[in-house]
């Protein structure tokens, strides 16, 4: 497509781009987790700087005029590769339910377990999904508004038992 004078058109909105930021604009570069369309995403924010004339000082002064937001939304291929490398199952939950994951039957997460802590501590427990037993490590994800998501990593008890028995056989 070639740009011409007619290429520039006024638009009231852009699909999937918010016209109003809706919160305080970051004054410095930052990376944080966000929920976008029900999915856990990694967002990077960079202030956009311009200049304005200061009448009192009679010179141009820097001023933040906007913010650039770039968002990475992990897809199934990304998590399937991580699950393959680590030999685990991974599910990501937002408050709306399962965002992405390897075990569709594990469709909801008890967010009351997250509490109000801002520090992301891994929580360990055991869980059963479709009559399969797993060890689960959950990482709560927080941003400025509190707990927004959880990453649940599941390791099969069957595999853990098999691997342990294999090590014992090698030692014996």
Residue 123 confidence class, pLDDT cut points 50, 70, 90: confident
Q: Are residues 82 and 66 in the same domain?
A: no
Domain final residue, candidates 55, 72, 89: 72
Which structure tokens are listed for 40? 């856990």
Domain housing 39: 16-72
pLDDT of 58 reads: 92
Average pLDDT, the chain: 85
Q: pTM of the full predicted structure?
A: 0.70
> Rounded to the nearest 5°, which phi and psi values hold at 49?
-105, 145
Q: What is the pLDDT of residues 13-59, one digit of tens each?
A: 666 666 666 677 788 999 988 888 888 888 999 999 999 999 999 99
The reported pLDDT for the residue numbered 34 is 87
C-alpha span between 34 and 10 (Å, rounded): 29
Place of tokens 């199934």: 76
Same domain, 57 and 110: no
The span from the CA of 15 to the CA of 36, in Å, is 13
Burial class (CB in 10 A: 0-12, 13-18, 19+), 1: exposed
Domain match, 50 and 117 both: no
């Amino acid at each position: 497509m070639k740009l011409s004078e007619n290429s520039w058109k006024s638009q009231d909105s852009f699909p999937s781009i918010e016209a109003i930021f809706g919160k305080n604009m970051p004054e410095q570069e930052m990376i944080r987790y966000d929920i976008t369309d029900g999915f856990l995403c990694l967002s990077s924010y960079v202030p956009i700087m311009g200049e304005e004339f200061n009448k009192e000082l009679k010179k141009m002064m820097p001023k933040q005029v906007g913010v650039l937001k770039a968002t990475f939304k992990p897809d199934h291929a990304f998590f399937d590769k991580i699950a393959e490398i680590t030999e685990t199952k991974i599910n990501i939950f937002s408050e709306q339910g399962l965002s992405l994951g390897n075990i569709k039957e594990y469709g909801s997460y008890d967010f009351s377990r997250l509490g109000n802590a801002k520090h992301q501590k891994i929580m360990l427990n055991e869980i059963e999904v479709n009559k399969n037993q797993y060890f689960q490590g959950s990482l709560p994800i927080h941003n400025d508004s509190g707990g927004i998501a959880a990453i649940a990593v599941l390791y099969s008890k069957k595999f853990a038992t098999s691997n342990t028995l294999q090590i014992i056989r090698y030692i014996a």
